[in-house]
A and B are shown apart, each in its own frame.
Chain A
Amino acid sequence: MRYKNRLEQAQLAIRLTLLLGLALGITVADTLTNLEIAAGVFQIVVVLIAVSFLPRRGVIAMAAFCMLLTVVSYRLTRFGEAEAGLINCLISLAAIACTTYLALRMSAAIRAVHQARELLEHSARTNMLGALTASIAHEVNQPLAAIATSGNAGLRWMAAEPANLPKARQALERIIADAHRASEIIARVRSMAQRRPPTKEWLNVADTVNGIVQLLHSELDKQSVTLRLDIPSGLPPMLADRVQIPQVLLNLVMNAMQAMGHTDPDRRILELSVACDARNYLHFSVSDQGSGLGADDCERVFDAFYTTRLDGMGIGLTISRSIIEAHEGRIWASANPELGATFHFTLPGGHKETP
């Protein structure tokens, strides 16, 4: 962390130095040229660059420095007409001031957009967490209510004159059963949330993919999506979980189909290909002609609760990533040159002589 901070500081220092150099260079050019040539106007470039990495105060300081340099340059310039020089100097100053003002306004607006998006993401996340906790609380509170009520009933049976022990015993038995039920509910919730280590076995790649295709046949037809499979023969087997890897493939294919919801039906082509690279890694890719991904999306689609769909939860790809990583593979996304996106993942392949 500290190392990273230091690196960032060094980068900042270098950038600042370069920027100051540029400002001084412009000043020198301004000084050497005639007074009629308003080279000082180019100081706006310095301001525009400053906005991209300096805080608000830094930008203002930089602009003030540029204006100072412009005035100094005007005083030092020996050639040309003084009146034209004064006017040019004033124009340069006004240009720098205006640019600074507009650039700061723009960066404030961009910051506001970022903040709004973060807020939105946060609220979507908390909404879902709220719904989740509500349902867990409901499930757990049922047996708890039964336990408390049975406990009260048991106390009353025992306090009766004469004490009704068979009834009290029944109440205790119900309490035990409900306590077990509550712990089962908690175990279920935990198993949902937990990362289960995959139970790996040797799987044939073509069989696995064909299993998915069969599952999706009617769905592909319904959405009039054409599936192109590219699975060369002679691929090594993969050591993978029988349920989890198909789950990842299914997730990627379903995403691809959904992404093509607005694509012209003739162009709804989904390509699923598998290849084996030199390091004996199996390389799966699922490519669509859909709405595609922005540069930012490619980085973030795997983050929890991040989604590009209106109705998406932002869960599927997060789970896919954890599955692939548990298989010692890698998963990533890229935008297609023309249309749509491609999702890739790799899995270590087995040796060809192993079954």
Chain B
Amino acid sequence: MKDPVIQTPADPVVYVVDDDASVRASLEDLLASMGLNCLTFASAREFAESPRADAPGCLILDVRMPGMSGLDFQDEMLRGGISLPVIFITAHGDIPMSVRAMKAGALEFLTKPFREQDLLDAIARGLSHDRQRREVAQGLADLQRRYASLSEGERSVMDLVVTGLLNKQVAARLGVSEVTVKVRRGALMKKMQADSLADLVRLSERLKVGSSR
């Protein structure tokens, strides 16, 4: 394997977006006291415009902020493809607000002042969700890279083999000899790191699902 895609797991990052400087400072300190990396932002815009680390993360988002509200920013994140788990914190929450947030996929909705344990539980949950999501995404990216490394001939053989055709049939379809098909098949099994035909079929399914997403 040329390209080691399984990286050393980067330290997770907790992003905090709150317009209140005291809340930001205290959250940063609390997370620091637990050895968690934390980046704070005064507005959703500031967060959206800053680069994010390539590490598992979760977002602590205030609901009521001047400029864009946390709830509106959540919608924008969904549209913009930012898939961080969101923990809402609000100084004055009501039921419609929390329903909207949870429907849009928020992980937790906490009212200020929140209990430390509630926040820490939510952060732990958020980070593990994001870790899983990243693993799945990474696995898929890895698979796509393997598929991309196939030659054109190997790829056409793979596409036909996984539909259940025999080597002979594949050869006839592609207009090449059966030996060529066997050679290409051996090479592509190695490149795709597939142990069996069943394995290859499974990988091909994952590729299809991944690319259709």
Residues of A near any B CB (own CB < 8 A): 134-135, 137-139, 141-150, 152-153, 156-157, 160, 164, 167, 170-171, 174, 177-178, 181
- B25 is contacted by which of A146, A148, A167 (Cβ under 8 Å)? A146
Q: A146-B20, A147-B113, A148-B113 are in contact. Are A141 and B91 (CB under 8 A)?
A: yes
Which residue in chain B gives the minimum CB-CB distance to A168? B33
CA distance A145 to B23 in the complex (A): 7
B211 within 8 A of A: no
**Are A178 and B113 in contact, CB atoms less than 8 angstroms apart?**
no
- B29 is contacted by which of A134, A141, A171, A178 (Cβ under 8 Å)? A171
Which residue in chain A gives the minimum CB-CB distance to B34? A156
Given the complex, which residues of A lie within 8 Å of B33, measured CB to CB?
A: 153, 156-157, 160, 164, 167
Total interface residues on B, using CB and 8 Å?
Answer: 20
CA distance A145 to B24 in the complex (A): 10
B64 within 8 A of A: yes
| 9 nearest A-B residue pairs (beta carbon) | A145-B112, A141-B91, A146-B22, A156-B33, A149-B26, A153-B30, A148-B113, A145-B113, A150-B26
Given the complex, which residues of A lie within 8 Å of B114, measured CB to CB?
A: 145, 148
Given the complex, which residues of A lie within 8 Å of B111, measured CB to CB?
A: 141
CA distance A150 to B28 in the complex (A): 9
| A132 to B: closest C-beta gap in Å | 12
Q: A137-B92, A157-B33 are in contact. Are A148 and B23 (CB under 8 A)?
A: no
Q: A141-B92, A149-B113 are in contact. Are A167 and B20 (CB under 8 A)?
A: no
Give chain B interface residues in 14-50, CB to chain A under 8 Å: 20, 22-23, 25-27, 29-30, 32-34
Give chain B interface residues in 110-168, CB to chain A under 8 Å: 111-114, 116
Given the complex, which residues of B lie within 8 Å of A141, measured CB to CB?
A: 91-92, 111-113
**Are B113 and A144 in contact, CB atoms less than 8 angstroms apart?**
yes
| A142 to B: closest C-beta gap in Å | 5
Given the complex, which residues of B lie within 8 Å of A160, measured CB to CB?
A: 33
**25 A-B contacts, Cβ less than 8 Å apart?**
A137-B91, A139-B91, A141-B91, A142-B22, A142-B91, A144-B112, A145-B91, A145-B114, A148-B113, A148-B116, A149-B23, A149-B29, A149-B30, A149-B116, A150-B25, A150-B30, A152-B30, A152-B116, A153-B26, A153-B33, A157-B33, A160-B33, A174-B22, A174-B25, A177-B22
16 further contact pairs, Cβ within 8 A, besides A142-B22, A148-B113, A153-B26: A134-B92, A137-B91, A137-B92, A138-B91, A141-B111, A142-B20, A142-B91, A145-B23, A145-B26, A145-B89, A149-B26, A149-B27, A157-B33, A171-B29, A174-B25, A181-B22
Given the complex, which residues of A lie within 8 Å of B91, measured CB to CB?
A: 137-139, 141-142, 145
Which residue in chain A gives the minimum CB-CB distance to B92? A138
CA distance A153 to B112 in the complex (A): 16
| B203 to A: closest C-beta gap in Å | 46
**Are B20 and A156 in contact, CB atoms less than 8 angstroms apart?**
no
CA distance A76 to B147 in the complex (A): 118
Which of A135, A145, A156 has the largest count of B CB atoms less than 10 A from its CB? A145
Which residue in chain A gives the minimum CB-CB distance to B116? A152
Given the complex, which residues of B lie within 8 Å of A148, measured CB to CB?
A: 113-114, 116
Given the complex, which residues of B lie within 8 Å of A177, measured CB to CB?
A: 22
Given the complex, which residues of B lie within 8 Å of A134, measured CB to CB?
A: 92
Given the complex, which residues of A lie within 8 Å of B20, measured CB to CB?
A: 142, 146
**Are B92 and A178 in contact, CB atoms less than 8 angstroms apart?**
no
CA distance A11 to B113 in the complex (A): 59
CA distance A167 to B26 in the complex (A): 11
Given the complex, which residues of B lie within 8 Å of A146, measured CB to CB?
A: 20, 22-23, 25-26
CA distance A141 to B92 in the complex (A): 8
Which of A138, A146, A177, A178 has the largest count of B CB atoms less than 10 A from its CB? A146
**Are B23 and A142 in contact, CB atoms less than 8 angstroms apart?**
yes
**Are A153 and B29 in contact, CB atoms less than 8 angstroms apart?**
yes
CA distance A171 to B27 in the complex (A): 11
CA distance A135 to B26 in the complex (A): 22
| B190 to A: closest C-beta gap in Å | 51
Which of B22, B30, B89 has the largest count of A CB atoms less than 10 A from its CB? B22
Given the complex, which residues of B lie within 8 Å of A164, measured CB to CB?
A: 33
Given the complex, which residues of A lie within 8 Å of B32, measured CB to CB?
A: 153, 167
Given the complex, which residues of B lie within 8 Å of A139, measured CB to CB?
A: 91
Given the complex, which residues of B lie within 8 Å of A144, measured CB to CB?
A: 112-113
CA distance A135 to B89 in the complex (A): 16
Which residue in chain B gives the minimum CB-CB distance to A175? B26
CA distance A167 to B34 in the complex (A): 12
Interface string of B79-117 (1 = CB under 8 A from A): 000000000010110000000000000000001111010
**Are B112 and A142 in contact, CB atoms less than 8 angstroms apart?**
yes
**Are B22 and A178 in contact, CB atoms less than 8 angstroms apart?**
yes
Given the complex, which residues of B lie within 8 Å of A147, measured CB to CB?
A: 26, 113
